[in-house]
Amino acid sequence: MTHPAQIGKYEIHGELGTGGMGVVLKGWDPAIARGVAIKSINKASHKTDELAAVMNRFRQEAQAVGRLVHPGIVQIYDYIEDDQGAYIVMELVNGKTLAHHIAEGDRYDINEVGQIITQLLDGIGYAHGKGVVHRDIKPSNLLINKDGRIKINDFGIAHVESSTLTQVGDMLGTPHYMSPEQFMGVNIDGLTDLFAIGVIAYELLTGKRPFTGNMATVMHQVMSVEPTPASELNTQLAPAMDAVLRKAMAKKKVDRYQTAREFSDAFREAIRVSLHLESAQAAAPDGGALLNVSRMLNTETTLSGTDAFGIAARQDSPLSLDTSIKKARLLIVDDDERILAALKSLFRQRYHVFVTTDGNKALEFLRKYQMHVIISDQRMPIMLGVELLRQSREISPRSVRILLTGYSDLASIVGSINDGEVYRFINKPWDNEALQTLVAEAVTIALELADTPATVVGLPEKMTPGVLVIDGDEDIFRATRELISGLCPVFYAADSQSALHLLQQHEIAVILADVETGQAKLISLLKLLKQENPQILTIIVTKAADSELVIELINQAQVFRILSKPLSVGLLKSQIQAALQRYLTYKQTPRLTKMLRVDPPTLTHGSGVGARILDTLKTLRGRWFGAS
């Protein structure tokens, strides 16, 4: 089959395969030099009477996934439609489907299945939170990229809460993974996705599908027959896992887990219990094809006699920390044990230090014990640093997070700040003295904020503090005004000088700045602004591939979010709203701005541009926000 040399701005470099509706092409975006996957529909290949429905379904996929930005979901970048066809431009995942791995005979040990299913539940839980139900979760729609991350793909029959495209009576899905309500053709919701994930978990843990045969047989089993308990097929599984899978695949929706988080928490616990049972049976796990077998959390002597999760070495005694010792607690996660040993040695005299190579064990530990500072590597086989920091922010929002990395992958850096809200980036190899100073600062902030109550301030219908857009060509300003002018004022500045004038005239909550390499005045303004007025949130928009510039802005300007060009309108709106909400939270609890502390930038404060900017910003202290 021949393909066009170009679709829109995208160069076509071949074919990746076929999808549920058409061909998936390999493309190249020359504007930002990245590969993309392009799902296409050829209008001529569909009958006239069915084309409208096919196109509606295709547009719905773009609509459904275009609103989802999550590391566990294949991201959509663009949608194009012309006389010949329609095209969804999306993230190119370097990896294979879970179905491919299963067909190749790859088997996963208990811990690896835990990684797969919890990642899957995290991604689908996020989608459900955005009002999107996938409705066709199956191994062929789950991609595993080369670093071990699960990516949910093909939302081709997804349902959006606001959509009426799919009517009662439609039966959509793949039989072996379909829920009872799908076979009955009644209204379905997120519990259908959770049912399918339960089926996949059973299949991965036992090597067998719970429901087998032709469609009629599968339908009968799904509606009326309980699968063989998983522990009978895999003796390394604890009975707790049978209970979890039985609830996940319950015939009645009311009997199932009602949220992905509820399912995930129960599944994690069943995995933990099964791993302990396996250890007690001295059953060494087979080598896995995807993820490394995790190692138990190494800790300081405050965990005497137990492992990291309270499983006693020889007796069932609970894990406890000596809370009478007032040292701060550091949790360090890195897949290189030499680095863990070096960092433990560096900090053990001053802090309680807890180290692990396994991100999931780190998160479980965080759920039980407060950590003041979290230091994480970026690229790890079991869980990427981006994902660890994102989840740790949800579990322990008062912890101060530091990324320690030997890589300058811009996409990962952006993900870390957007999802994990890191306090600082430290490059490997590090300078011991500089790292000690940084950790001491982070600990000071964390100890001060440890007892600050968590507050969630909702957005009002109308607010006085506004958004200041610094944008040379006004494109971002016009989009922002269109998106949020009903919520708050939106001001425009073409340059730094105009921005300073507006900062003196109006209460500004968020600055949205178009930043490129070489804009020294604007970069100086953003750094000094955070030093003098830390409550103002900064979102930068950039197409620059300069990771050093981005790290500089994170470390010295504490930017709130980083958005890449071309901009997603939905993402822009959601991030501005998140920043406005955070500003109101800071206004209610000013102590929280301590987490935004930055050192004074290396600027000439006595003369020149830096001094004039600084003098102006000092006049703003406390004017709108209150004295800090």
Cα-based distances in Å from 297 to 230, 365, 369: 28, 9, 14
Residue 59's beta-bridge partner residues? none
List strand residue ranges (DSSP E) for 521-609, in order: 537-542, 561-564
What sign does the dihedral 606-610-613-614 (CA atoms) show? negative
Contact 97, 194 (CB under 8 A): no
Cα–Cα dist 554/418, whole Å: 11
Whether the CB-CB separation of 388 and 359 falls below 8 Å is answered with: yes
Of the listed 122, 136, 335, 377, which one is catalytic?
136
Q: ∠ CA(613), CA(548), CA(466), 5° rounding?
A: 45
User: Is it true that the peptide bond before 180 is cis, omega within 30 degrees of 0?
Assistant: no
Comparing C-alpha atoms, which of 457, 463, 466 is closest to residue 507? Answer: 466
Rounded to whole angstroms, the Cα distance separating 67 from 73 reads 11
Q: How far apart are CA 246 and CA 269, in angstroms?
A: 15
- 455 neighbors 589 (Cβ within 8 angstroms): yes
Token pair of 55 as six digits:
């196109």
**Pairwise CA distance, residues 290 & 296, whole Å:** 19
Task: Look at the block and give the residue holding tokens 């991350």.
Answer: 149
8 A C-beta contact, residue 373 and residue 397: no
Q: Is 170 a catalytic residue?
A: no
One-letter amino acid of 315: Q
Q: Nearest Cα to 524, choosing from 549, 501, 542?
A: 549
**What's the DSSP call for residue 105?**
T
CB 152 within 8 A of CB 199: no
Q: Give the number of other CB atoms < 10 A from CB of residue 114.
A: 26
Give the C-alpha separation, 514 to 57, whole Å. Answer: 36
Catalytic residue numbers read: 136
